[in-house]
Structure 1
Amino acid sequence: MKIQKEIIEFEKERSFKLFSPSLKNCFFWHYHPEIELVYVEASNGIRHVGKDISGFTESDLLLIGSNVPHLNFDYGIQTECKQLVLQMKETFLKDLILPIPEFENIKHLLERSYLGLSFSGETKKMVVEKLHFIRDKNSFESLIGFIEILQILANSTEVKELNSEDTRIKWFLNDKIRMGTIYDYIDENYDKKPNVNEIAKIVSLSTPAFCRYFKKQTNMTFTDFVNNYRINQAKMFLLKDYSVTEVCFQVGFESLSYFNKLFKQHVGETPSAFKKKHLNKIEGII
C-alpha cells in the first residue's frame, strides 16, 4: 500500500505518449513528474486524486499535475472499463509551452493542473474525439492535435478543481503512506462494519489522533467517508441490475429508508431513479 513513483519511458521522437492501461484489481497508488490527461469510461468508478476521493458515472476526463498522487482509475471496477492516458514529458511545459507567448492560456492550464481538474460536457466530448483521432497519427500530426486538445481545455468553463490546496508529493508523502492502508481496510470492510478503533490501531494511532488525521487528509469524518464509499459501490451494483433492496444490504446498510435518503443526498436522485436512467443508457450502448 505504499505510494510508488512511476517511471515513465517515452519514444525518442515523441514528447508525449498515448496509451490504454488496464490494471483493474491492482491498487496502484502512485505519482510521477509528468503531467497526465486521463479519460476513463465505465458504468461507475472512483477517482482518487490528491486529497479528493469522489465517484464518477459513465466517464471522466481528468488533467493531473506533476507529482500529484493518484490511484489508477480502473481500480475495483468489475464492469467493462476503457481508458486513454496521455502523459507529457517532464520538460514539456518548460521547453514547448513557456517560450511561446501564444500558449499563455495553455501555460496557466498546466500550471494549475496540480489541483486535479475534471472536465465535463462538450469539452469532454471534443477532447475524447481528438484523443482517438491523434492516436494513430504520425508524430507531427499527433503533436498538433495534442496542442489543440490543450487549447480546448485551457478555454473551457466546464471544469471542476478537485483539490483546494497543493497535494503534490513533497507536501504529504509521509501521510499518504498511511492512507493506502486505510483505503485498503475500507475496501475490504465497507460491506460489514468498519471499526474506527480497529483501523486506528492498524496504523499505530490513538482513535482521537486517527480521527483528526483522517479528517485533515480527506476533509471527511471516517463515517462519512465509509458511507460515501458505500454509495459509490451501490451505484456499481445498481448498474449490474441488482434490486435496490439487494444493493442496500450488500453494501453494508441495515436500513432501506436510510440508504435511500443518503443515496439521494450524495447523488441527487433516488437509487431507483439512478438505476433507471443510467442502466437504460448502458443497455442502449450495448
Structure 2
Amino acid sequence: MNLKTHNRIVINLQEYGVKRGVSFGHYKYNEVKPGLESHQHQGALEICYCMKGQQHYKIGDSMYELNGNDILVVPPDTIHSTGKFPEDKGELFWLQILVCPSYGKLCNLPNQQSDFLLNAILERSEYIFKGAFQLKLILEKLVLQFKKKDSILSRIMVNQLLTELLIETVLLSQKKQQLSSTKKINILDTYIVENLHRIIYVDELAKLVSMSTGYFKAWFKETAGMPPKEYVNRMKIEQAKVALQNSTTVTKVAFDLGFTTSQYFATTFKKFTGYSPSTFKNSQPK
C-alpha cells in the first residue's frame, strides 16, 4: 500500500516489481513531527539519506545524529527509533531492501552482483558517512517516477534508478571522509557556544574560518545540511532546554540567549521542539 500526502510519501516497492524491495519513502517537513516508535524491519536493511536539517536514530543503545548530507544504514532485524527526539524539521529519504536472495533478484541483477552491493552496504551499517549531490538527483528522479502512472517503462526506470542509488551509496561508503570540514565545524561550534548569549552574525563566522560570506553560506549548507542561522538557533534551543529547567521566566531565557523578543524565541523554540517554551518548562520535574 502506498501513502502520499503533500509532505510525505511511502511507496511499496513490491507493487513496482522490485522483488527484494520493501519500501521507499520521502518527507520534507517545515516543522517537527512526532518521533518514530521502536520498530524493526524483518530481513531488510534500511538506508536513511538525510538531505536537510537534522534527524536522530537510536539503534540498540547507541544514538546517532544525522545532519544534512549524512547517510546511515540500519541493519536487518534491528530495533530502532528516534529515541526521545521527534522527526525533525528537514528532508529525508529512506530505502528498505530485503537481504536474503530467496526473495528473488534485486533490480534484475544477478545474485552475485546484488549480494556484492548489499554486503558492501551492510559493512558500513551503524556508521554515519557523507552523501553527495548526485544522490539527491537520483532520489528526486525516483520520486518523479512514483508519481507517474505504473507501466513497463516506469518499472524499468525504477529498477535502473535503484541500482544507481545502491552503487553510489557503496562508493560513498568507501570514500575516505574529509577531516578539514570537520575541523572547521568544530572551530565554529566552540565559537558559537562561547557566544550563545548574543546575536551571532554570519559574516563573523565566515571570517573565523577565512571565507567570504557568500562562499561560507554555500559551504556551510553543503557541509552541515542547513543554513548557518538555523544551525546557531538549534544550538541556542538546546541550551534553552537546560536553562528553562532553572530559570524563573521564559523571557529571561530568551534574552540570555540573545533573542530580541520573547515571541521570536517562542516561535523558534516550537519550530525545533514541537512545544512552546512554557509547555516544555511546565512539563519538567520540579
Larger radius of gyration: 2
Q: Give the structure-1-normalised TM-score.
A: 0.46
User: Normalized against structure 2, the TM-score is what?
Assistant: 0.46
